[in-house]
Amino acid sequence: MPSLKTTIIRGGLEALYFSGANVLMRPFVSGVGAILTLHHVRPQRPDGFQPNRLLEVTPEFLERVLRFLRRQQLDIVSLDEVYRRLVEADFSRRFVCITIDDGYRDTLQYAYPILTKHGFTATLFVYTDYVGAGRNSLSWPELRELAAEGFDIQAHSKTHGDLRRTIGETDAQFARRMQAELEVPRGLFQRNLGAPPTTLAYPYGAADEDVVRAVRETGYAAAFTVRREGNPSFVTPLRAHRSQIYSEMSLQDFIKNLEVRHEERLGEAQ
> Do the domain assignments include residue 77?
yes
Higher pLDDT, residue 262 or 202: 202
Q: Of 16-30, 159-173, 236-250, which gets the smallest average pLDDT?
A: 16-30
- Evaluated on CA atoms 150, 151, 157, 158, the torsion sign reads negative
Q: Which domain holds residue 121?
A: 4-256
Size of the chain, expressed as the number of residues it contains: 270
> Do the domain assignments include residue 261?
no
Ramachandran angles phi, psi of 242, nearest 5°? -115, 150
Query: What average pLDDT does range 202-213 have in this prediction?
Result: 96
> Do the domain assignments include residue 97?
yes
- Evaluated on CA atoms 6, 9, 13, 14, the torsion sign reads positive
Reported for 161-170, long-range contacts at CB under 8 A and 24+ positions apart, including other chains, are 161/203, 162/203, 162/204, 162/206, 163/202, 163/203, 163/206, 163/207, 163/211, 163/214, 164/206, 164/207, 164/208, 164/210, 164/211, 165/208, 165/210
pLDDT at 22: 36
Contact 241, 207 (CB under 8 A): no
Name the pLDDT band for 257 (thresholds 50, 70, 90). Answer: low
Confidence check: pLDDT of 114 > 90: yes
Q: Of 3-12, 116-125, 151-160, 245-254, which gets the smallest average pLDDT?
A: 3-12
> Do the domain assignments include residue 244?
yes
pLDDT at 48: 61
> Do the domain assignments include residue 269?
no
Contact 136, 105 (CB under 8 A): yes
> Do the domain assignments include residue 268?
no
Confidence check: pLDDT of 21 > 50: no
pLDDT at 18: 37
Higher pLDDT, residue 256 or 156: 156
Higher pLDDT, residue 123 or 17: 123
C-alpha span between 98 and 122 (Å, rounded): 5
Confidence check: pLDDT of 172 > 70: yes
Question: How do strand 31-38 and strand 231-232 relate by DSSP bridges?
Answer: antiparallel
> Do the domain assignments include residue 9?
yes
> Do the domain assignments include residue 266?
no
Q: What is the CATH number of the domain that holds 63?
A: 3.20.20.370
Q: What is the pTM of this model?
A: 0.81
Task: Domain count for the chain, please give it.
Answer: 1
pLDDT at 91: 84
Question: Residue 124 pairs with which residues in a beta bridge?
Answer: 100, 153
| CA-wise closest residue to 86 among 33, 150, 29, 125 | 33
Confidence check: pLDDT of 236 > 50: yes
